[in-house]
Structure 1
């Protein structure tokens, strides 16, 4: 799933290429992706892009007051072709992604793709970014340099919710997903199943520092990476996420799967749970 650093890099890439350019044609290959049926993609034709912005893990393309909102979900992404020929990209595991939509501009074509077994991309044609329901519910942007410790403490509250789940709760903290939640908790030396209510003031300070460092470093690292290589760059950068069975880069332990995540989340017992593996 693309998270804030990758979507921010995509926003920058598209901002540089699309601002001031007009949509000349659209093609919706998968009608289920469009969630605003009364407002088809054809409404974008003839309109000129004025801005491209990120909202959490969502992208917004402003075409002079009419907005295209793109939610990538679990397996969505984008591709760009200067010559207008958008081909379905091949994923790292050899599967061919489906091209969900093509939006042709006067100098190239933007393709929206989905590589999942189930459709996860969502498209909205709206009057403002906040008209997309999932954007309207977003909490503060955790990837923003201005995200404060106080904002984190407020989001955590005294809730009896596990930290990994809470970090991914977009209504509380926008922009963090499965992969970066593992990386942040490892950097903070906190158990993924610890409850927010159990954190000390020092724990919160450490978590905020880890969040700021991990998301900030990732945003800088993704900048300038071709969009076709963003997912591979993200995978290669992970310290614990997706590294089951490998030695922890920060200690003598071995990285394990978080129980109950079906291999979707990882942690280091030596760094995060006092050397004791979490019970299955």
Structure 2
């Protein structure tokens, strides 16, 4: 799934290429992806791109006073093409979900939104105000904003009875962190993913807060200037523990372990994060404190 660093890089890439350009045609290929009907997608045609923003994992394109908002889900992506096919796309079972074609003087250029796999989570909205998108309206603070201080983070965690791994992934608490970067953040902070958030000491809260900023900013910087087609590969190569089950920890050399759940998995280093204890790899395992 695309998380904050990848969506931030997408926003910067598209912002550099789109602002001032005109939408000629918008083709909806995957009907299930469109979550709104008023205004229609066709209302974007003939309008100019005004800017691109990011809200957590949501990509927000300003087009002629409207907002084209996208959440890429687990397997969605945006692909820039200097020359789109002349023929309109046909609905089918392929990955193409949306195509946006630019007009003069950029005839033929544009972007496509795709989604791989059988599980469809891509969501596209056309709204007048970005807060009309329910997922955006529910977002917590952005962890890269100046307002996200260690004191503010401590207030968010106060009274939280959940494990810190789940809290970091909750978009209503913090916007933009998912499964991969929560693993990375907790590894950097040397913290068990299963420690209760409300029981963290001030020093532990400060460690996690620092790890959030360091991990996300480094990921954004690594992506700077890369072509869209290279962003996913960069993410995978930059991860230290997530997706690296069985490999040596780059900090201590211990073997990275995994806990699998029904629809996801997480990775951690026992030596760095859980005092050498290894979690049983089953959904209902007793969690470490």
* Band of TM-score, shorter chain: over 0.9
Task: Give the match for residue 101 of structure 2.
Answer: 104
Provide the C-alpha distance between the structure 2 equivalents of 1:117 and 1:38, rounded to a whole number of angstroms: 28
Task: Give the match for residue 270 of structure 1.
Answer: 271
Provide the C-alpha distance between the structure 2 equivalents of 1:260 and 1:135, rounded to a whole number of angstroms: 27
Task: Give the match for residue 13 of structure 1.
Answer: 13
**Structure 1 position 26, deviation (Å):** 1.0
Q: Structure 1 residues 41, 263: CA separation in 2 closer, same or farther (over 3 Å shift)?
A: closer
Structure 1 residue matching 2:265: 3-state secondary structure: coil
Task: Give the match for residue 40 of structure 1.
Answer: 40
Structure 2 residue matching 1:104: 3-state secondary structure: strand
TM-score norm. by structure 2 comes to 0.90
Aligned pairs for 1:192-231 (under 5 A) are 192-231=193-232
**Structure 1 position 152, deviation (Å):** 1.3
Residue 160 of structure 2 is aligned to residue 163 of structure 1? no
Aligned pairs for 1:122-137 (under 5 A) are 122-137=123-138
Q: Structure 1 residues 220, 146: CA separation in 2 closer, same or farther (over 3 Å shift)?
A: farther
Provide the C-alpha distance between the structure 1 equivalents of 2:153 and 2:40, rounded to a whole number of angstroms: 38
Provide the C-alpha distance between the structure 2 equivalents of 1:217 and 1:176, rounded to a whole number of angstroms: 14
Count the aligned residue pairs.
271
RMSD: 1.6
Deviating 4+ runs (over 4 angstroms): none
Task: Give the match for residue 235 of structure 2.
Answer: 234
**Structure 1 position 146, deviation (Å):** 4.8
- Structure 1 residues 123-181: Cα deviation after superposition (integer angstroms, max 9, x where no partner): 00000111111001000001335521122112212211011111010000001011000
Instruction: Tell me if structure 2 keeps the 8 A contact 1:48–1:63.
Output: yes
Provide the C-alpha distance between the structure 1 equivalents of 2:60 and 2:71, rounded to a whole number of angstroms: 9
**Structure 1 position 117, deviation (Å):** 2.0
Q: Which runs of 5+ in 1 are unaligned?
A: 87-95
Task: Give the match for residue 120 of structure 1.
Answer: 121
Provide the C-alpha distance between the structure 1 equivalents of 2:116 and 2:71, rounded to a whole number of angstroms: 14
Please identify the structure whose Cα radius of gyration is greater: 2
Provide the C-alpha distance between the structure 1 equivalents of 2:183 and 2:147, rounded to a whole number of angstroms: 22
Structure 1 residue matching 2:2: 3-state secondary structure: coil
- Structure 1 residues 97-140: Cα deviation after superposition (integer angstroms, max 9, x where no partner): 70100011122111011113211110000001111110010000
TM-score norm. by structure 1 comes to 0.93
Provide the C-alpha distance between the structure 1 equivalents of 2:235 and 2:146, rounded to a whole number of angstroms: 20
Q: Which runs of 5+ in 2 are unaligned?
A: 87-92, 282-289
- Structure 1 residues 167-203: Cα deviation after superposition (integer angstroms, max 9, x where no partner): 0100000010110000000000101111101200100
